[in-house]
Amino acid sequence: MAEITAALVKELRERTGSGMMECKRALQETGGDIEAAVESMRKAGQAKADKKASRIAAEGLIVVKQANGASAMVEVNCETDFVTKNDDFRAFADAVAEVVLHGEWTDLDALLAASMANGQSVEQNRRDCIAKIGENINVRRFARLATGGGVLGSYLHGARIGVLVELEGGDADLAKDIAMHVAASRPLCISADQIPADLIAKEKEIYAAQAADEAKGKPANVVEKIIGKIVEGKLRKYFEAVTLLGQAFIKDDKQSVGELLKSRQAKVIRFERFELGEGIEKKSGDFAAEVMAAARGD
């Protein structure tokens, strides 16, 4: 059995990021064999990660990076806002964004299998981070834009809303302004022709029902015309509200985004908008009980 020296414990701490006593205990259990200790601790970390996998992670960070004609955005979730301030968690989220920025991953599984700077996969680093921090952590989604001749813009509102934009024409300042607008006004798509047909049909149905009430008591031969005009007007307002080009520009509501772009001879090719935790069903519960459970390591 090798001697469990302070230097050996220090080396294991640097390799695993775990606490001193946990490292010392692992070395004692493996007779001072550091490689066996590393493997044992990783297996324990994977078990912890599997145990925590069902816990809701709706907090976290949106990270945005841009360099060399590409921009990237990633959402990494944790369970509590407290962990978003943890250096290890922040470093992991930042490193994942770097992987997204410098690669072309087809889906989340491909990203999780990708290697990070330390030679381990994103997934293994995620599990190690869970073992170290003690909360469920998920890489939820990512986006990457790359362009040969277009203009890229990005905007990060705190760490909770992120936007990437690609323009044809215009400049970096305009791209950033459009990204800020998307963050604030959350358009559904760029233009009306991109709105799904089933969504338009649903809106028409709602407006027609509303218009029928307004047309009550009118002569039968004009009811259809009245309903048609009302539906047409409401659809026009709906398109203005949900499309980027139709919305009033946040910095000058006297012109639409479409008018602004036209005046600058620019066009929006695409945009991506992430809002932290959107679509995740958050669980309400007894916070004190959650803290006690965390303290017990449940």
pLDDT band at 228 (very low <50, low <70, confident <90, very high): confident
Where exactly does CATH 3.30.479.20 map onto the chain? 59-186+274-281
Q: Tell me, what amino acid is at 4?
A: I
Q: For residue 207, which amino acid is it?
A: Y
**Could you tell me the pTM of the whole model?**
0.75
Confidence band for 47, pLDDT divided at 50, 70 and 90: very low
The whole-angstrom separation of Cα 199 and Cα 189 is 12
Percent of the chain with pLDDT over 90: 56
Tell me which DSSP letter residue 284 carries.
P
pLDDT of 31:
85
Query: Which part of the chain is CATH 1.10.8.10?
Result: 6-52
Residue 147 has a pLDDT of 83
Here the tokens at position 245 are 């080009």
Closest C-alpha among 74, 76, 97 to residue 86: 76
CATH architecture, domain 59-186+274-281 = 2-Layer Sandwich (3.30)
At residue 35, the pLDDT reads 84
The answer to whether the beta carbons of residues 280 and 58 sit under 8 Å apart is: yes
Q: For residue 258, give the nearest of 153, 154, 249, 173 by alpha carbon.
A: 249
> In which residue are the tokens 């205990």 written?
25
Q: Locate the DSSP E strands across 158-251.
A: 161-168, 248-249
What is the C-alpha radius of gyration for the chain, rounded to an integer number of angstroms?
26
CA 137 to chain centre: 13
Q: Rounded to whole angstroms, how far apart are CA atoms 125 and 96?
A: 10
Predicted confidence band of residue 19 (pLDDT cuts 50, 70, 90): low
The CATH T-level fold of domain 6-52 is Helicase, Ruva Protein; domain 3 (1.10.8)
